[in-house]
Structure 1
């Protein structure tokens, strides 16, 4: 039927939701850090000891607002990419592969540095919640990448010369 949306294969649909879940987990952790006002004020004071409390408060408030905007933009971008990928857009699959591959590599680096004691020897604090989020997002991203490529036929039949769906979603 004309206008009917074709459902993506199950692995692709699951990959879509894994990408979105990974972005949400990462965003929630980032937002939680933004609301740790004491930590932000202490960091601002260490970096700029000559600033008054009002200046530090203004800087922290601006940083939190900017961070929230960035977090929302990243979540929207991942959601749009995941939806474009589910519609069979190979370019979106490639972009997600690059972003996810970098995320997996960074996650494995962080986990390995922690497990090997390298992070502690360099004075880098890795809190249990940060390690948990790193582990979860690494597994979600790696799983999503594998699932996207298990249904390669879905992408081969959807290729078009010029794809403007990303702009319309």
Structure 2
């Protein structure tokens, strides 16, 4: 197997893992964007925690409470996308990193109140992780490593 063949023809298990991580990323971004639909709930919670706060202060705090999760979701999505493409290229370190991120994502389900999108994203990431370690994936990653 030449370097060109290895890099151009990842097995179907790697392709499935790649698309699984892409789908997980889209789902995670959707989950992060759900916070944009809960402005009134966020403002009500902030008002309860500080009943004497001025409306302009509440508006700023609400904006920050919405912007931070969205920004975090977008940064994570960019990293996930980059890692997904590196996995498709046969990089073992990307596969290991995605595995660690998937484990952290699964652990976060136990400590937070995730939305349906959070469960969906994690489930798809778990399936993608399994595909990335199936025998054809292992052979592909080993072949890329030897060719490098």
- Range class of TM-score, shorter chain: 0.7 to 0.9
Q: How many angstroms apart in 1 are the aligned matches of 2:96 and 2:139? A: 15
CA distance in 1, matches of 2:122, 2:71: 24
Relative contact order, higher structure (CA 8 A, sep 6+) = 2
The verdict on how the C-alpha distance between 1:2 and 1:12 changes in structure 2, with shifts beyond 3 A counting, is closer
- Which residue is equivalent to 1:137? 121
C-alpha distance in 1, partners of 2:30/2:95?
A: 24
5+ long unaligned stretches in structure 1: 111-123, 164-169
Q: CA RMSD in A?
A: 2.7
- Which aligned pairs between 1:115-130 and structure 2 lie closer than 5 A? 130=115
CA apart distance, 1:53: 1.1
CA deviation map 1:92-115 (0-9, x unaligned): 0000011112223444x47xxxxx
Q: TM-score, normalised by structure 1?
A: 0.72
How far is the alpha carbon of 1:64 from its aligned partner? 2.3
Q: Which runs of 4+ in 1 moved over 4 A?
A: 1-5
Q: Mind listing any 5+ residue stretches in structure 2 that lack a counterpart?
A: none
Count of matched residue positions in the alignment of Structure 1 and Structure 2: 143
Confirm or deny that 1:146 pairs with 2:130.
yes
1:23 aligns with 2:9: no
CA–CA distance in 2 between the matches of 1:65 and 1:57?
12
Please name the residue that 1:120 is paired with.
Answer: none
TM-score by length of 2: 0.81
